[in-house]
Amino acid sequence: MSVNPAFAGVFSNRLVMRYGSATMLLAALVIFSGFKEHSGRDSRAKQVNLLIREIGNRLLLQAGDSTSRVLPVIETKEGTFLLRFEKELVFSHDSLMVMSDDLLPKTAFRSGYAVTVQDCTKRDIVYGFQVSNSSPDILPCKRRSQPPGCYTIEFAFPDLYENADRKNSKTSSLTQPVDLNPQEVNPRPEKVTTTTVDIGQETKELKPGEADPKKFNSRLEGVKTSIAGNPLRDLVYAGVLVLLAGILFMGRFGKSLRRLPLQRGNSAFVNAPVPEFAALGKFLFDVQDRRLLLGTDVISLTDKECKVLELLHESFGELIPRETLLQKVWIDEGVITGRSLDMFVSKLRKKLSPDPELRITNIHGKGYKLEILEGLKI
């Protein structure tokens, strides 16, 4: 019986789309169960690798670059990872510190870590900082922006694998030669009689307190069997990976049917402008969406709060007269009062309070300025 090729193609693609996700989820669960057999060092390295890649992705998005790639993160030496980019990068020092603290909190690493930005061509260190749990952090050159250039970012973790090595050392002790104590093998040697044991072509007389070689060898074989790998399990994992690759390859045949709706659905996302975040102390200032970002916390701003903060940020460290703020923020309103400005500044101070270094200072009778307290600068 012949089958219409067009109908067969549609049916096969529907079958792939319907069961492909379920099959990939099942394969992921099976593979994940096999990860438990891997060493803790590999798992730790993969987690840090993915977090560093996310830092690179956020740096590119903040710079307005949603097309270039974050190159594969490589571990140049034990505990040291190198983040590379396909194109030139521009970033602010505060943004890199905030993103690192968000994704790589120093409390997760006993000795903290160091981050250095290097010039791709000259191999010079152009910026860096160090966070520690036992000594003061080194955070130089805050509130500055790095000009566009070819950069690589190195993350160094001194004790990244310390806990994993401790666990592995406990496991590896199973493979060490068993040290048998004669007193433990024969707690009552006075009742042990002399026996004769055949070893190969020789006959050896065992004296009280000596272990039987045959029993000793059998115990070693048991240990070796318990720690040996399972070839059948490895074969099953390999088969699942091959099956997953086959499903993804089959899905390519349905590309022509799914391409048009996917392109229509994604066109708005691709063409949408990527918001730019300005560094503001420990915060990231999202002017477009009127909000402050501090780690995972989002602090919303009203329209006038955002305008006042934007004007203060544009003239960071400089005094802005009250009249200037009133005219630029309340320009469309009929009646302008100084008390309105004071009220919004008071609200902004409360929202900026999570960063004790960042202050809105009032110069009595003159105006306001946004600054970092001198006593807390590094």
If we measure between CA atoms, which residue out of 289, 320, 317 comes closest to residue 305? 289
Q: Which residues contact 317 (CB under 8 A, 6 or more apart)?
A: 369, 370, 371, 372
Taking residues 130-142, what's their average pLDDT?
Answer: 87
Of 164-168, 232-236, 262-266, 300-304, least confident by mean pLDDT is 262-266
Phi-psi region at 39: left, alpha or beta (left = phi > 0; alpha = psi -120 to 50): beta
Calculate mean pLDDT across residues 123-148.
87
Give me the chain's average pLDDT, please: 74
Would you say 239 and 223 are in contact if contact means Cβ atoms under 8 Å apart?
no
How confident is the model at residue 17, as a pLDDT? 54
pLDDT in tens, 90-108: 888 888 999 999 999 988 8
The percentage of residues in the chain with a pLDDT greater than 90, rounded to a whole number, is: 30
Q: Residue 223: pLDDT band by 50, 70, 90 thresholds?
A: very low
Distance CA 150, CA 84 (A): 9
pTM of the model: 0.40
Q: How far, in Å, are 135, 311, 350 from residue 354 at the CA level?
A: 22, 21, 8
All structural domains of the chain, each given as residue ranges with its CATH number in brackets, are: 41-163 (no CATH), 177-227 (no CATH), 278-376 (1.10.10.10)
* Residue 205: pLDDT band with limits 50, 70, 90: low
Distance of CA 88 to the CA centre of its chain: 22
Highest mean pLDDT, choosing among 184-198, 227-241, 294-308: 294-308
Expressed in angstroms, the distance from the first to the final Cα of the chain is 81
Q: What is the pLDDT of residue 74?
A: 94
Query: What string of DSSP letters covers 143-165?
Result: T-EEEEE-EEEEEE-TTTTHHHH
Structure confidence at residue 227 (pLDDT): 41
User: Residue 152 in contact with residue 83, Cβ under 8 Å?
Assistant: yes
In this predicted model, what pLDDT tens digit does every residue of 72-88 receive, in sequence order? 999 999 999 999 999 99
